[in-house]
Amino acid sequence: MLPAQNQTEPGRVPGHIAIIMDGNGRWAKRRMLPRAAGHRRGAEAVRKAVMGCVSQGVKFLTLYAFSSENWKRPPEEVDDLMGLLRLYIRQELQELDENGVRVRFIGDRSRLSDDIRRLIEEAEIKTGANAKLTLIIALNYGSHAEIVRAARDIARDVKAGLVDPDDITEDLFSQRLYTEEIPDPDLVIRTSGEKRLSNFLLWQSAYAELIFLDVLWPDFDESSLAGAIQEYQARERRFGART
- Binding residues (CB under 6 A) for ligand FPP: these are 21-26, 39, 42-43, 46, 63, 65, 70, 81, 84-85, 88, 137, 192, 217
- Residue of 70, 99, 130, 199 with catalytic role: 70
Q: Is 111 exposed, middle or buried (0-12, 13-18, 19+ CB in 10 A)?
A: exposed
Does residue 70 carry a catalytic annotation? yes
* 56, 12 Cβ separation under 8 angstroms: no
Which residue, 77 or 153, has its beta carbon nearer to ligand FPP?
A: 77
Closest residue to ligand FPP in the complex (CB):
25
Which residue, 22 or 176, has its beta carbon nearer to ligand FPP?
A: 22
In DSSP terms, 18 is beta-bridged to 62, 188
Which residue, 17 or 150, has its beta carbon nearer to ligand FPP?
A: 17
Q: How far is 117 from 203, CA to CA, in rounded Å?
A: 25
Q: How far is 213 from 204, CA to CA, in rounded Å?
A: 21
Q: How far is 65 from 71, CA to CA, in rounded Å?
A: 12
Q: Which stretch of DSSP H or E encloses residue 152?
A: helix 143-159
Q: How far is 213 from 22, CA to CA, in rounded Å?
A: 10
Q: How far is the CB of 143 from ligand FPP (least distance, A)?
A: 16
Q: How far is the CB of 129 from ligand FPP (least distance, A)?
A: 22
Selection from 34, 49, 36 nearest residue 135 by Cα: 49
Does residue 157 carry a catalytic annotation? no
Which residue, 89 or 154, has its beta carbon nearer to ligand FPP?
A: 89
Q: How far is 113 from 130, CA to CA, in rounded Å?
A: 26
Q: How far is the CB of 105 from ligand FPP (least distance, A)?
A: 10
Q: How far is 82 from 66, CA to CA, in rounded Å?
A: 9
Distances (CA, A) of 243 to 9, 191, 208: 22, 31, 18
Which residue, 21 or 154, has its beta carbon nearer to ligand FPP?
A: 21
Q: How far is the CB of 206 from ligand FPP (least distance, A)?
A: 24
Q: How far is the CB of 60 from ligand FPP (least distance, A)?
A: 15
Kindly list the catalytic residues.
22, 70
